[in-house]
């Protein structure tokens, strides 16, 4: 049994109702799961002794702009035992977008989720320190949303006052 089949079998065994889609594009395995099960799936993948996805490489989001479920959060996790990078996805349909944090499972997700909040405005519930990562505190917009113009919004960043 190869790695991909093993992962799919283990996940389907436990989360058969919550898995929305399993896709395999260009040799990248990607599992889409219901929003409320992402923490459970993450914990299962980390703690299962056959899988051991102990490292979270990346958390980000996609803004689909026109879809009904506008945002998708994307997690890349890595297992040293299987030598495999797995992608988890979760579609968010509520407005304003919220999802449970995975930082208790993978501490490295702390900053990645802060960055995603900064860029997309997705609130991570129970996140220990949800501040902006790059943009200044007090900035109102979330730049990577598709409705934010490339040239920025005039006046959204206050310029320093002129000296007397």
Partner 1 sequence: MDRIKQIYNDEKLLKKLQEDRDISIEDVLENEMVINMGPQHPATHGVLRLVLRLDGETVTGIIPELGYLHRGYEKMAENMSFIEFIPHTDRLDYLATMCNNVGYVLAVEKLAGIETPKRAQYIRMIVAELSRIASHLIAIGTFAMDVGAVTMVMWTFREREKVNSIFDRIAGARFTTSYTRIGGVASDIDDQSIAEIAKFLTELEPALVEMDKLMLSNRIFIDRLEGIGILPKEDAIALGVTGPNLRASGVEYDVRRAKPYLFYNEIDFKIPTFTQGDCLARYFQRGDEVRESVKILRQCLDKIPQGEVIANNPKKVLPHKTEIYSKMEELIHDFMIINFGINPPVGDTYFSVENPKGELGFYIVSNGSGQPWKLKIHSPSFCNLQAVSQLCKGAMISDVVAIIGSLDPVMGEADK
Q: Which residues bind partner 1 (CB under 8 A)?
A: 25-26, 28, 30, 54-58, 60, 62-63, 74, 76, 80, 83, 85, 87, 106-108, 110-112, 115, 119, 132-136, 143-144, 148, 150, 164
Nearer to partner 1, 50 or 80 (CB): 80
Q: Which residues pair with 99 in a beta bridge?
A: 124
DSSP 91-156: EE-SSS-EEE--TTT-TTHHHHHHHHHHHH--EEET-TT---SSSPTT----TTSTTS-TT--TTS
Closest distance of CB 91 from partner 1, Å:
14
Nearer to partner 1, 35 or 76 (CB): 76
Nearer to partner 1, 13 or 129 (CB): 129
Please give the Cα distance from 85 to 93 (Å, whole number).
Answer: 26
Place of tokens 């436990």: 14
Closest distance of CB 36 from partner 1, Å:
23
Is residue 90 helix, strand or coil?
A: strand
Closest distance of CB 13 from partner 1, Å:
25
Closest distance of CB 130 from partner 1, Å:
14
Nearer to partner 1, 44 or 106 (CB): 106
Q: Which residues pair with 62 in a beta bridge?
A: 72
């Amino acid at each position: 049994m190869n790695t991909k089949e093993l992962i799919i079998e283990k996940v389907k065994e436990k989360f058969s109702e919550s898995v929305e889609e399993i896709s395999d594009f260009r040799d990248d395995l990607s599992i889409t799961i219901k929003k409320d099960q992402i923490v459970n799936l993450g914990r299962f993948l980390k703690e299962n002794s056959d899988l051991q996805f102990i490292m979270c490489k990346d958390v980000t989001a996609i803004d689909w702009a026109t879809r009904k479920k506008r945002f998708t959060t994307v997690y890349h996790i890595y297992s040293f035992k299987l030598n495999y990078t797995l992608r988890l996805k979760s579609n968010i349909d509520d407005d304003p977008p919220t999802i449970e944090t995975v930082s208790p499972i993978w501490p490295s997700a702390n900053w990645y989720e802060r960055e995603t909040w900064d860029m997309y405005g997705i609130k991570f519930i129970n996140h220990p320190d949800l501040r902006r990562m790059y943009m200044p505190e007090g900035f109102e917009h979330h730049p990577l949303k598709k409705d934010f113009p490339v040239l920025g919004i005039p006046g959204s960043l206050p310029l320093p006052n002129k000296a007397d």
